[in-house]
Amino acid sequence: MWHSAYARANLVFLLVLALSALTMVWLFWHHPLKTLIATIAVLAALGVSARLARSVDTDGSSDLEHGERSI
């Protein structure tokens, strides 16, 4: 039963990925400039979000000195 659920999840993931790709190709075919601008904007937003997440993410060990241990 585990294998069928795993295969079903893979199939759903593949269908979502294929639908997303087809949507992007259709949009680029019909509205190339708008799609290009929107794609660049989304990728830029993801890049900014990743940089902000990296700068905010701390594991707490940076506050400790080298000889101290965290409990």
Domain assignment of residue 43, yes or no: yes
Contact 9, 16 (CB under 8 A): no
Query: What pLDDT, on a 0 to 100 scale, did the predictor assign at position 40?
Result: 97
Domain assignment of residue 9, yes or no: no
Number of structural domains (the chain) is 1
The Cα angle at residue 31 between residues 25 and 37, in degrees rounded to 5? 90
Query: Looking at residues 48-69, what average pLDDT do you find?
Result: 74
Domain assignment of residue 41, yes or no: yes
Tell if the pTM clears 0.85, that is, is over it. no
DSSP state of 62: G
Query: What pLDDT, on a 0 to 100 scale, did the predictor assign at position 5?
Result: 84
Domain that holds residue 35: 24-54
64 Cβ contact list (under 8 Å, min separation 6): 70
HSE at residue 29, side-chain half, CA atoms within 13 A, is: 6
Q: How far apart are CA 50 and CA 44, in angstroms?
A: 10
Indicate whether 60 pLDDT > 70: no
Percent of the chain surpassing pLDDT 70: 79
What is the residue-averaged pLDDT of the chain? Answer: 86
Between residues 66 and 40, which one has the greater pLDDT? 40
